[in-house]
Chain A
Amino acid sequence: GGIITQTPKFLIGQEGQKLTLKCQQNFNHDTMYWYRQDSGKGLRLIYYSITENDLQKGDLSEGYDASREKKSSFSLTVTSAQKNEMAVFLCASSTGTGVEQYFGPGTRLTVL
């Protein structure tokens, strides 16, 4: 088995601040994802990466940057935090086809 680790678990920032969320996986999966989940809602795909140094925009990429430094890690940067993007950010990984994704526990973002 493997595990996905997300840091930090809770992230508090000021409006306009640049904030970075990190994700590590030890499944040796090729593909990694970042999703945003607003309270009581489904997940929206922000970015995904099908291999090291690859980046693909999802449905909600505006206001975010991502970086796939190596196969096991995928970072997400909120370029200018806004109060309306307080949510839980979920990282996931999968084999190349993407249909069975393994999720981390999430990072809860609060913007003051």
Chain B
Amino acid sequence: LAKTTQPPSMEAYEGQEVNVSCSHTNIATSEYIYWYRQVPHQGPQFIIQGYKDYVVNEVASLFISADRKLSTLSLPWVSLRDAAVYYCIVTLMLSGSFNKLTFGAGTRLAVCP
């Protein structure tokens, strides 16, 4: 499984757009990219997943470089509620089989009013 590297922490002001990067230089052809976030005193929550190019949902956008070695989670207009630890996970996506998620230390995002 590909190893991921994220900045340990980031800081932003409310209303700013935040981009959290994740490097996965050894990503395999069959591996997908997942992002979770964990607010204090709660379990992680799934945000978005992608394989290549660009994915968007109601919470965030995910940009994946052409060589798939770098992904960027984009959070538009962050609020205090977005203060959390953001985890980038790369894992196989095998239909009909169990796929293990490995949560690293993540990126701690602090949001200032």
Contacts and interface: CB of A to CB of B under 8 A. Distances in A.
B98 A90 contact: no
Interface stretch (B15-23, B52-60, B67-75, B102-110): B102-110
A41, A98, A99, A100: residue with the most chain B Cβ atoms closer than 10 Å: A99
A43 interface: yes
A31, A101, A105: residue with the most chain B Cβ atoms closer than 10 Å: A101
Interface in A30-59: 31, 35, 40-45, 48, 50, 56
Contacts of A31: 98
A97 B97 contact: yes
Given A45-B100, A105-B43, A99 B32 contact: yes
Interface of B: 32, 34, 41-46, 49, 87, 91, 93-106
Contacts, number: 61
A102 B38 CA distance: 12
B95 A97 contact: yes
B111 to A, nearest CB: 19
Chain B interface mostly helix, strand, loop or mixed? loop
Given A50-B98, A99-B34, A42 B104 contact: yes
Interface residues of A, number: 26
B96 A97 contact: yes
A100 B46 CA distance: 6
A102 B44 CA distance: 8
A101 B46 contact: yes
A105 B43 CA distance: 5
Interface string A78-96: 0000000000001110001
B104 A92 contact: no
B87 A42 contact: yes
Given A41-B105, A42-B104, A42-B106, A99 B45 contact: no
Given A90-B43, A105-B42, A99 B101 contact: yes
A74 interface: no
B33 to A, nearest CB: 11
B43 A97 contact: no
A104 interface: yes
